[in-house]
């Protein structure tokens, strides 16, 4: 299966190295925000992988075509599948929507790390995929290193009644620093400096990232949900003193995403949770989700990123769709 990469940042570079080494997968080329490489021979494919290995810009490839649209490039490359690892674009949805839907219209499957299109245009995404017969991979959009989307899909026919989760690792980091005495301002600044948060940290601290992930889980569970209708309470609204006081009360403050479809509740907000709660125990790059159904609770806890793990999820999903389904990715 020929795999094209849209995005050549940290995740895209890790994916390029993995595709090159994986059985049954062939690196068809790569695109960034300015142009693309169509890799039609092994020398060109090796050079894309070398640039990924060394961390160099895609523009250094001898076949880099500035201004080449990623959809056109993937078609020229004869791609069967594209891995999309580009920044979110929640305000307009573009260029993410045009890229993803354009690939599907060409019969090219997509594996997504970016949450923009499934969070904003879920119905259109599914409709276009069904029309072309191209597969969609969503495993890396929520709790990337842990198969939360697979679990929700597997339980959807059993009527999930409620979803609650800690779905954003950046706010875990910020809250831990505040627990240790930092101000919110200091903790957020550190998270941006360490590239844990987006350049605009409000994507994390005002709940947009967690809300997008919540919408994806709700849609996979078989319910309707709209990103714009998820109530988002800023992380800092709870106050630093309350975060630290919670520890003395054998509790912790976490940024919790909640969906109760029957009650029409969709919300992301800071909550004080008892320390015995699985949601209270996750830290740093770990997330957790609780699924309430049939009078019982299914709880899933596991890692999200970093980039190398997200790439392994994306490439593993491609491998599952290839002629080598069941094969293993190269060891770390």
pLDDT for the residue numbered 241? 95
Q: Kindly report the CA angle at 294 between 291 and 295, in degrees rounded to 5?
A: 85
The verdict on residue 81 lying in a domain is yes
The verdict on residue 331 lying in a domain is no
Residues 120 and 158 in one domain: no
Residues 124 and 19 in one domain: yes
pLDDT for the residue numbered 254? 98
Residues 129 and 168 in one domain: no
Tell me how far CA of residue 120 lies from CA of 139, 229, 321, in angstroms: 17, 11, 25
Residues 313 and 283 in one domain: no
Residues 104 and 160 in one domain: no
Asked, as a colleague might, if the bond just before 101 is cis with ω within 30 of 0, I would say no
The verdict on residue 330 lying in a domain is no
The verdict on residue 17 lying in a domain is yes
8 Å CB contact between 101 and 109: no
The verdict on residue 329 lying in a domain is no
Sign, CA torsion 320/325/326/328: negative
Residues 28 and 76 in one domain: yes
CATH number of the domain encompassing residue 52: 3.40.50.720
Residues 130 and 276 in one domain: no
User: Where do we find the tokens 């949900």?
Assistant: 225
Residues 135 and 277 in one domain: no
Q: What is the tally of structural domains in the chain?
A: 2
pLDDT for the residue numbered 325? 80
Nearest to 268 by CA among 222, 212, 217, 189: 212
* Boundaries of domain holding 32: 2-144+307-321
Residues 56 and 194 in one domain: no
Sign, CA torsion 190/192/196/197: positive
Residues 114 and 220 in one domain: no
Residues 114 and 30 in one domain: yes
The verdict on residue 332 lying in a domain is no
Residues 137 and 249 in one domain: no
CATH number of the domain encompassing residue 158: 3.30.360.10
Q: Is 332 helix (H, G, I), strand (E, B) or coil?
A: coil
Q: Kindly report the CA angle at 168 between 170 and 314, in degrees rounded to 5?
A: 105
Strand ranges (DSSP E) for the chain?
2-6, 26-31, 35-38, 64-66, 81-84, 109-112, 136-137, 162-166, 231-232, 251-260, 265-274, 286-293, 296-303
Instruction: Return averaged pLDDT per consecutive 10 residues of the chain, 332 residues in all.
Output: 96 96 95 97 96 97 97 98 96 96 98 97 97 97 95 95 96 94 94 83 95 98 96 96 95 98 96 96 93 96 91 95 84 73
The verdict on residue 108 lying in a domain is yes
The verdict on residue 126 lying in a domain is yes
pLDDT for the residue numbered 61? 98
CB atoms within 10 A of CB 324: 14
pLDDT for the residue numbered 331? 78
């Amino acid at each position: 299966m020929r795999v094209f990469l849209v995005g050549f940042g940290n995740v895209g570079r890790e994916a390029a190295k993995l595709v090159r080494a994986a059985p049954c997968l062939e690196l068809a080329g790569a695109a960034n925000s300015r142009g693309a490489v169509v890799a039609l021979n092994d020398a060109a494919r090796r050079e894309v992988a070398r640039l990924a290995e060394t961390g160099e810009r895609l523009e250094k490839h001898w076949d880099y075509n500035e201004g080449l649209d990623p959809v056109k490039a993937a078609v020229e490359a004869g791609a069967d599948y594209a891995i999309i690892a580009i920044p979110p674009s929640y305000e307009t949805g573009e260029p993410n929507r045009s890229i993803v839907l354009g690939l599907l219209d060409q019969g090219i499957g997509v594996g997504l790390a970016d949450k923009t299109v499934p969070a904003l245009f879920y119905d259109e995404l599914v409709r276009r995929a069904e029309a072309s017969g191209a597969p969609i991979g969503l495993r890396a959009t929520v709790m990337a290193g842990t198969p939360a989307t697979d679990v929700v899909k597997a339980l959807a026919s059993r009527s999930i009644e409620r979803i609650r989760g800690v779905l954003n690792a950046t706010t875990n980091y910020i809250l831990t620093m505040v627990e240790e005495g930092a101000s919110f301002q200091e903790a957020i600044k550190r998270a941006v400096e360490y590239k844990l948060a987006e350049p605009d940290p409000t994507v994390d601290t005002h709940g947009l990232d967690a809300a997008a992930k919540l919408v994806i889980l709700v849609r996979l569970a078989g319910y309707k949900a709209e990103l714009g209708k998820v109530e988002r309470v800023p992380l800092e609204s709870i106050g630093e003193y309350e975060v630290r006081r919670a520890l003395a009360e054998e509790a912790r403050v976490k940024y919790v995403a909640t969906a109760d479809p029957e009650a029409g509740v969709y919300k992301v907000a800071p909550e004080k949770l008892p320390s015995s709660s699985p949601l209270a125990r996750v830290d740093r790059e770990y997330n957790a989700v609780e699924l309430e159904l049939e009078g019982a609770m299914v709880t899933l806890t596991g890692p999200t990123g970093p980039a190398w793990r997200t790439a392994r999820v994306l490439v593993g999903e491609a491998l599952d769709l290839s002629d080598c389904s069941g094969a293993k990715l190269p060891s770390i």
